[in-house]
Structure 1
Amino acid sequence: MPDDFAGHIENTPLADALSDRYLAYALSTIMSRSLPDVRDGLKPVHRRLIYAMHQLKLDPTSGFKKCARVVGDVMGKFHPHGDASIYEAMVRLAQDFSVRYPLIEGQGNFGNIDGDNAAAMRYTEARLTEVAQALLEGIDQDAVDFRATYDGEEQEPLVLPGNFPNLLANGAAGIAVGMATSIPPHNAAEVCAAAILLVQRPDASTADLLTFMPGPDFPTGGEIVEEKAALLQAYETGRGGFRIRARWAVEQGKHGTWTIVITEIPYQVQKSRLIEQIAQLMEDKKLPLLADIRDESAETVRIVLEPKVRTVEPAMLMESLFRTSALESRFPLNMNVLDGTRTPRVMSLRDVLRAWLDHRHEVLVRRSQHRLAAIERRLEILDGYLAVYLNLDEVIRIIREEDEPKPSLMKTFELTDLQAESILNMRLRSLRRLEEMEIRKEHKNLTKEGKDLRTLLGDEKLRWNRIVSELEKIRSTYAGGPLGARRSLIGTAPATITIDDAALVEREQITVILSQKGWIRAMKGAVAPDAELRFKEGDELRLMLPCDTTDKLCLLATNGRAYTLRANEIPRGRGDGQPIRLLAEFGNEDEVVTLFAHSAGAKYLLVSTPGRGFIVGSDDLLSERKAGKQVLTVKPGEELMLATPVNGGDHLAIVGENRKMLVFPLDQVPEMTKGLGVQLQKYKDGGVADVRIFKLAEGLSWKSGERTRTETNLKDWLGGRAQTGRQPPVGFPKNGRFGA
C-alpha cells in the first residue's frame, strides 16, 4: 500500500459504485449460495456440511454426534454465515418428507410434515447416510479439486465426486439475484437407467430418456397429473411444471355411507395448514359438499373427509377440493444450475445427465491416475524391500558401521531416495521370512492392478463400461425397498369433471335490492314488496329481485354490455351495500337497464333508443370478465333502452316517442349473439318509447290508471317490421308506455 494512501479520496459516480457493488453481491449469491452444481447437485452449505461430517468421521457405521458440534465446525472452518441457517440446511437434509434420499440420518426431533420445527441443535444428533457416503466416494483420492477456505487455514472441495445422481434424485430449490432454480426429486434407479441409456446411445432423445425416467418421484408421494406432451416439453427446455394431486380412496361405511381417506398429500404442503385451509373454506361456505374433515394421521398420513350427503359423487367432491385447496398444487421446473465451468444456465434433462456422466468420467480418470501413482510408489518401495532381503547382512553392516547409512545404501544397492528411506524406517520384525513372502505377493498383485489401470486409462470405451457397471450397482441398490420404490404415481391429465357452480355454494334464498343510485345489497329470505327499506339520503328503491345464492345474475347497462354477477358474492346485511360499479365495470355515464336471474334457455329482446334490436339467448349474456361483454352495439348518442323477456309471445307491439304504434310477428326479429340489430319501427323524429311481446290471440293489454285494458282487434296496427305504424288505440297512456 502506498505511503500516501491514507486520506486518499477518489471520486466515483454513484451509479458506477452501486452497479459494481450490486454485481459483486449478485455474483456471490448466484455462485456461492443459491444455485446447485450440476455435478453433485449441492449448494455450498450442503457440500460443506457433508464434508465437515466426513472429517468428523460421522460415517453410517459410526456413532452419532451432536448437531451443534457439526454446525460449529462448518461455521468455524468453511461457512462464514449464521448458525441458524446452517442448522436449517442440515435439518432439511435429514427430513425424509423434504428430500427423497436423505443425506443425513438424524436422531431426535427433526420436525414433521405438519410444519413443526426441529428441536434445537444442542438436543439433536446426526451422522451421514449411505447416499452421502456415495457422494464422498473418492474424496481422498484426488478425485476433485480443492480450494482454500475463507480464512485460508483449511481446504474444501470445489465439488464432491458424486457417485450418486443427487441433483435429479433429491432436486433443488433456490432464489438468486435475477434467476432461480426449482428441480423436483426423481427416482434414483430410474435416473441411473436413463443415464445408462445415454452412455450406450449418446444420440438418445429426451423422449427416449423419459421411457426409463417418466417423471418426478416426490418424497410424499401423490399423483402427478400432467399431459405427456407437457412433460416432454418441460424436460426438453428445462422449464415447465407439474401438477400434483393428493392420493385418495373411498372407504365404505354402514348403511350406504362412505368417507374419503387421503393417504398422500402434495410435496411441500404442510398437513396442518392444509387442514386449516379446508376448515376455513368450510366455514366460508365454499365447500357445501363437505360436512367434516378429521386428521387421523399417526406415522402415515390419514385425512378423513365426510360428505354432507351420500348421494354426491366422490369424484365431484374431490374435484371441488382440488380446485379450491392445496390438495392439488403445482411444482415448477426450472433447471437453472451451475455447469462444469461454474456458469449458470438452464439445462435440459439430457444436458443434466450428460454433465453428471462427464463428471463421473473425470472422477474415474483422476482416481485411476491417483491409484496408479500410489501403486508405482508402493512398488518402488517393495523393490527396495526385496533388495534388502537378498542382502540382509550387508544392509545391517552398513547401518551399524556407516555414519551416513542412507547414501551408502543408495550407492551399494542402486536404490532411490524413497527406497533407502523406507529401508531405514523398516522395523526389525519385518525381517522375518514370512514378511518377505507377503511382500512378494503384494508386489505381484499391485503389478497386475497397475497393468489393469494403465489399460483402463488408455481405453475410453473401457472407462465408460466401468461407469455403466457403477450405474448398474446404484440402480440395483435403489431399485426397491422402502427407500427405492417409486412413491409418486405417474397419471394422465384427469378427465374434465363438470361441477355446477351451484354445487360449490350453499343454496339459500335471498332478495337482491338495487337502488336508483346504483347501490346493491342482498337480504336473507324473501322480502315483502311493501317492506320498509333504508337507503342513503336522496336514494330510493329501483328493483327487488328474489333469487337463490346459487344463481347467476345478468345485468344489462345502457352501453349495450352484459355483466354477470354471482348472487352469493353480493354483500349481505341491512346496510347500504356497495356500488354496483365495483362488481361490474361500467362508466359513471352508463346506467343499469335491467337485472335478472339467469335461466338456461331463456331469450330476451334487446332494443336501443333509435328502435333497433334483436333477440338474444340468456347463455350469450353470460361473461366471466368483470368488464362484461358487448352484446348490443350502440352508436354515439345511442343507448340500450330496454330488455324484455320473450315468454312464449308470437307478436311484438312497439310504440315510438311520436305516439305511433306498430304490431308485427315476432319471427321477423332475428336471433343473434351480438350486433347492431335491425330496425323495428321507422321514426322521423325521436326514438322508441316502449315495447311489449304478447300473444295475438289473447290481445294486447296495457295499464291505464288503476285499470287494465285489452285490445283484441289489432288489424289496424298489424304490419311488417320497420314500418311507421299509426296512432295507438283510444285510452292508451299519453306517456306511450304499456305500464306494469
Structure 2
Amino acid sequence: MSSDVPEPTDVDAARIDTARIEDEMEQSYIDYAMSVIAGRALPDVRDGLKPVHRRILYAMHEEGVTSGSSHRKSSSIVGETMGNFHPHGDSPIYDAMVRMAQDFSMRYPLVDGQGNFGSVDGDPPAAMRYTEARMAPIAEELLADIDMDTVDFSANYDDRLQEPDVLPAAFPNLLVNGSSGIAVGMSTNIPPHNLGEIIDATVELIENPDATVEDLMDHVKGPDFPTGANIVGHNAVHAAYKTGRGRIRVRAEYEVEERENGSDRIIITELPYQTNKARMVEKIADAVNDGSIEGIRDLRDESDRDGIRIVVELKQNAMAEVVKNQLLESFLEKTFGVINLALVDGQPQVLTLKETLRHYLDHRKEVVRRRSQYELNEKEDRAHILEGRLTALEHADDVVDIIQDAEDRDDAKAALQEAYDFSDDQVDHIVRMQLGSLTSMEAAEIEDEYEEVQARIERLETILGDEDELLAVIEEELLAIKDEYDDDRRTSFIEDTDEVTREDLIAEEDVVVVVTEQDYVKRMPVSQFDAQNRGGKGIIGGDIKEGDRVSKVFRANTHDYLLCFTNQGQVYRLKTYEIPEMSRTARGKSAINLLDLDDGEEITAVVNTDDFEDEECLSMVTRDGYVKRTAASEFDNILSTGIIAAKLEDGDELVDVKVTNGSTDLLVATRDGMSIRFDEDEAREMGRNARGVRGIDLEGDDTVAGMVAVEDETEQDLLTVTENGYGKRTPLTEYRKQSRNGKGLVDIKTGDRNGGVTSVKAVGPTDHLIIMSEGGQIMRIRAADISGVGRNTMGVKVMELEGDDGVATVDVVPDANGDRPTETVEREK
C-alpha cells in the first residue's frame, strides 16, 4: 500500500455494515417490488387510479385544460405531466392518456380526445404532436374540491411542487372504469361497470351498512363493458363479487340471418371486451383457409363509425348451428379473469364488492369531512369580519370621528380596538371600508350575508357532528352524479346453454389410473377394489409387459383435467376420460397416443387442476433435492405439445408436484429415509423456466423419493412406505420445522429388510390407500390399519410381495367425509 494512503481508523470501520449478499439482494428486490406495486402497477381503492393516470388528470387540472376549455396538444399535456409530476418516459404517459380517451377501453372516458386515438382494430394512435385532448366532464368529478384540503399532498419528485396522494373522487371510479395491471408477483384485472348501478349499490350500503354482497348484487347486475357483448351465466359474476376473483365468460352479440336464396349468414355486432377486431377476423379467415372451419363462403368486415358489423356468409349447404358453435369455441367467446386487487392503505388486497365500496365510502367520508371543516373555517372567518363591520355600522358616526381624529391609519386602528374591542382582522377591514358602504342598502346586504353565513356555519357544524348527516351529503352528491352521467347498460346476460359434449355422455366417477415405466396407461373404477387387511397380497391390477413395471398409480374423477408432469420437466394437460378404461388384467394403452412424449420421457407426477385456485402455487421437487414454487396461473394455457414446468440440471429429474397456498409447509423425504420440513415461503415463487433452490442437502448417492404439503399437522400423519412392502404412520408434529437445505431428520430406518423409501403421503385416520407393486399387484387398505409409531423406526408389513417384486406407488382415496386433493407419489428410479 502506498504511504500516501492513510490507514483506516476505528471511526471508518464503525461506518461499515456487514451483510449477507443474498439478504441484501432479497431486501432490494422486495423494495423494488413494492415500489412497482404501490407506485406504478396497481390502482388505489379510493379513486381507482394508478399514479400515472392521477398525475395526468392533476396536470390538466393545474393547466386549466378542463372540459370547458379548448383542446390542448397532447404533447403539451404529456410534457407538463412528465416535467412536473411523472419523471418517466413520454411514451408510457401518452399511452396512459390515450387509453383514458378510448371509448372502447374505458366505460366512461376521462379524457376528451380529438384526433386519432387508436381503434378497436388495434390501430395505434397518432403521435402526440398530432392529437389534442382535454378533460372529460366526468373526470372533473374526480378532482372536485381538491383545492379545499380534501386530500393529502406530497412533494413531487424534485420537491419543487406538491401533488395529491389521491383524488377526492366523487364517484367509485375503481369499479366504474375498472383497471388492469401487472405488478411483481401479482396482477389486477377489474372489469368496468355501469355508473348508475354502482352508485345505487353505494347508496344501499350507506342506508344499510349491514348489507350483504347479495344485497348489493340486487343493484349491480355484473360488469358493463364498453364494447357491450353478453356475459354467459351469473354464477361466475357472483363468485367474483363474493371473493374478489372469478372467470367470466363474455360472448359476442350475433344473429343468424336466413336469406331468400337458402344460404344463411352470421352477423356479429358486438365483441367481447379487449378483443382486437381486425386480428379476430384475420384468424377466422386463416381457420377457413386451413380447413379448421368449414361452411364459410365469405367473410367481410362492414364496421363503421356507427358500430361493429362483421358478416360471415355461409355456403348453400352449410349448417349454421355447426359453424356458429365453431366460431364460439375459438373466436367469439373470451374469458375475463376478474382479480379485484387494489391498494388499501398502500397494501395490495383482493377485495369483495362490499369491501371495495366500503373502502370508497370511508375515503369519501374523509373527503366530505375535510371539505366541511375547510369551508367552516372560511365561513367562521367571514362571520368574524362581518360582525366587526356590523358593529362599525351600528356606531358609524363614532367610528368616523375616531378615524378622522387619528393621526394615521395605525392610530385609527388602535383607537377603534380600544373603543370597541375589535380584532386585528376586523379593524383592518373597517379602516378600509368605503363611505358608500355606510348606506342603509349596503348595511342591509351585510346583515343578509351575515345571516346566510351563520346558517351555513350551523349546517356545516351539523354535518361534522353527525355522521348520518355527513352520509346524507355523500348520498345526495352521488345521486346528483348519477342524474348527470348515468346511461343504459350495454352488456347483457345470457343463459349458459352449452351444446352436449362428449363429457356430458361420460359417467362421472372416481377411477384409479395406472402408469408403467414404458408409459402404458389405463383407468379402472375405484369401486373394483375392496378394502383388505394389512399385509395381504392384493389382486392383479395389470398384465405388465415383460421388462416393464408399474411406476405410479393415482386416483382421479373422469371429468377432471389433469396436469401430467414428466421427469424431463415438461407438463401436459389431459382429461381423465381420455385415458382408456380397461379391465384389471389389461396392459393399458401407450401414453404416446394421448400425450406428445419424447423418447425417455416419463410421467412422474399428476395434479388435478380442480384442486387449485389462481392465487395458489405448484410446488415441485427434483431427484437432486431442488425445490421451487410457480404460480398455478402460469399453467392455464398448455399446448398439446406440452410446456416447460421446471428447468433441470443435467442428470436431474422432476420427482413430485404439490398444490400449495402460501401457508403450508413442505416435507421432502429421501430414498434413504431422511426427511426435512420447512416453510414453503423459503422456496420463493419463480417462473416456469427456473430451476429452483436447494430443498434438502443429500448425502452420498441418496435421492428424493417424494414430497408432502403439510396443511394440518394435528389431523394428519405422515405415511411412509418402502419398496419391500413395509410402512408406518407418524404424527406430523414429530417433524419439526427447519430451514431448507439442511440434512433433515431420520424418518424411517431403511436397509435390507425395508429397502428404500418409495412413497410418502399425508393421511387422515379415515383415508384409504391404493398400493400397487411393480409387477401389477394392487390392493386397497385402510390407513388406520398401518401402525402409528415414532420417527426412526422400521414400520410394519403393509403388502406381501412375491419374488423380486417391489412397491411402486401409493395414492390416497378420499375418506367418506369429503374430497381430498389428488396426490401422486412415484417410485424413485
TM-score by length of 2: 0.59
* Displacement after TM superposition at 1:453 (Å): 1.4
Distance 1:10 1:263, change over 3 A: same
Equivalent residue for 1:189, pick from 196, 210, 218: 196
1:143 aligns with 2:150: yes
- What's the counterpart of residue 49 of structure 1? 56
Tell whether the 8 Å contact from 2:409 to 2:431 is kept in structure 1 after alignment: no
Residues 32-82 of structure 1, C-alpha deviation per residue, up to 9 Å, x if partnerless?
111111111011111111111111112211111111111111111111111
Q: In the comparison of the two structures, how many residue pairs are matched? A: 522
The 5-angstrom pairing of residues 364-513 of structure 1 reads 364-389=368-393, 390-391=395-396, 392-394=399-401, 396-397=403-404, 401-402=408-409, 404-426=411-433, 430=437, 433-479=440-486, 484-496=487-499
Within the alignment, does 1:338 sit opposite 2:289 as a pair? no
Gap regions ≥5 residues in structure 2: 1-8, 504-517, 524-543, 549-573, 591-775, 778-829
CA contact 1:561–1:630 (8 Å) conserved in 2: no
Q: Partners in 2 of 1:396 and 1:32 — Cα distance?
A: 60
Q: Any gaps of 5 or more consecutive residues in structure 1?
A: 501-557, 564-585, 591-622, 641-674, 677-740
C-alpha distance in 1 between matches for 2:439 and 2:93: 54
Cα distance change, pair 159–96 in 1 and its aligned pair in 2 (3 A): same
Listed one character per residue, the Cα deviations across residues 216-244 of structure 1 (whole Å, up to 9, x for unaligned) are 00000000003x33322221110112110
Q: Distance in 1 between matches of 2:236 and 2:475?
A: 30
Q: Are 1:133 and 2:135 counterparts?
A: no
The separation in 2 between residues aligned to 1:264 and 1:79, in whole angstroms, is 37
**Could you tell me which amino acid in structure 1 is paired with residue 582 of structure 2?**
V
Instruction: Work out the CA distance in 1 between the residues paired with 2:388 and 2:105.
Output: 56
**Distance change >3 Å, CA 478–CA 425, structure 1 → 2:** same
| 2:251 paired with 1:245 | yes
Distance 2:347 2:209 in 1: 23
Superposed, 1:201-220 pairs within 5 Å as 201-220=208-227
**Most deviating of 357-366 and 389-398:** 389-398
Q: Which amino acid aligns with 1:279?
A: A
Distance in 2 (CA, whole Å) between partners of 1:639 and 1:22 is 48
> Partner letter of residue 237 of structure 1?
T
Separation in 2, partners of 1:3, 1:120: 60
SS in 1 for 2:31: helix
What SS class does the counterpart of residue 292 from structure 2 fall into? coil
Partner of residue 298 from structure 2, selected from 278, 292, 301: 292
* Equivalent residue in structure 2 for 1:232, among 232, 238, 247: 238
Picking from 255, 266, 282, the partner of 2:288 is 282
Change in CA separation of 1:297 and 1:404 when aligned onto 2, cut-off 3 Å? same
CA displacement 1:547-567 (0-9 Å, x = unmatched): xxxxxxxxxxx998689xxxx
Provide the C-alpha distance between the structure 2 equivalents of 1:316 and 1:62, rounded to a whole number of angstroms: 54
| Residue 464 of structure 1, CA deviation | 1.8
- The 2-side partners of 1:346 and 1:256 are apart by 53
Question: Which amino acid in the other structure matches residue 201 of structure 1?
Answer: N
Give the distance between the partners of 2:148 and 2:272, measured in 1 at CA.
Answer: 41
Q: How big is the shift at 1:486?
A: 0.6
Larger CA Rg, structure 1 vs 2: 1
In structure 2, relative to structure 1, the CA distance for the partners of 1:290 and 1:587 (3 Å cut) is farther
Change (3 A) 1:13 1:290: same
- Paired residue for 2:313, among 298, 302, 306? 306
Amino acid in the other structure paired with 2:80: D
- Cα distance in 2 for partners of 1:108, 1:302 equals 23
CA distance 1:561–1:182, shift in 2 (3 Å): closer
- Secondary structure of 1:256's counterpart equals coil
Q: One-letter code of the match for 1:290?
A: I
Q: In structure 2, how many angstroms separate the alpha carbons of the residues matched to 1:358 and 1:442? A: 34
- What is the root-mean-square deviation in Å for CA atoms of aligned residues? 3.2
Q: Please, which of 7, 13, 27 is the counterpart of residue 20 of structure 1?
A: 27
Distance 1:560 1:132, change over 3 A: closer
Is the 1:137–1:161 contact (alpha carbons within 8 Å) kept by the matching residues of 2? yes
Secondary structure of the 2:387 match is helix
State the distance in 1 between where 2:405 and 2:72 align.
Answer: 52
Q: Match of 1:359?
A: 363
Identity %: 42
Q: Does 1:350 align with 2:354?
A: yes
- How far apart are 1:291 and its partner, in Å? 2.4
How many Å apart are 1:449 and its aligned residue? 1.1
The match for 1:34 is 41
Note closer, same or farther for the CA distance 1:635–1:128 as it changes in structure 2 (3 Å cut): closer
Q: Mean Cα displacement is larger for which, 181-190 or 278-287?
A: 278-287
Could you say which residue in structure 2 is the equivalent of 1:515?
Answer: none
Moved more, 328-337 or 246-255: 246-255
Deviation per residue, 1:136-187 (Å, 9 max, x gap) = 1111111111111111111111111110110001001111111111100000
CA contact 2:341–2:351 (8 Å) conserved in 1: yes
Q: Any idea what SS the aligned residue of 1:41 has?
A: coil
Q: Determine if contact 1:560/1:632 at 8 Å carries over to the other structure.
A: no
Give the superposition deviation at 1:254. Answer: 2.7
CA 1:194–1:401 in 2, change beyond 3 Å: closer, same or farther? closer
| Deviation, structure 1 residue 470 | 2.0
Match of 1:170 among 174, 177, 193: 177
Q: Is the 8 A contact 2:41 2:183 kept in 1?
A: yes
SS of the aligned residue for 1:211 comes to coil
Give the CA deviation at 1:426: 4.5
Residues 428 and 179 (structure 1 numbering): CA distance in 2 closer, same or farther, change over 3 Å? Answer: farther
Residues 98-123 of structure 1 deviation map (CA, whole Å, 9 limit, x = unaligned): 00000110111111111111111111
CA distance in 1, matches of 2:322, 2:474: 50
Match of residue 578 from structure 1: none
Correspondence 1:555-566 to 2 at 5 A: none
Report the Cα distance in structure 2 between the residues aligned to 1:307 and 1:272, rounded to whole angstroms: 20
- Conserved in 1, the CA contact under 8 Å of 2:176 and 2:193? yes
What amino acid is aligned across from residue 489 of structure 1 in structure 2?
S
Could you tell me which residue of structure 2 aligns to residue 631 of structure 1?
A: 582
- TM-score of the superposed pair, with normalisation by structure 1: 0.66
Deviations 1:589-620 (A, max 9, x none): 89xxxxxxxxxxxxxxxxxxxxxxxxxxxxxx
Amino acid aligned to 2:47: D
Which residue identity lines up with residue 580 of structure 2 in the other structure? K
Q: 1:639 and 1:485 mapped to 2: Cα distance? A: 57
Output the CA distance in 1 between the equivalents of 2:157 and 2:136: 27
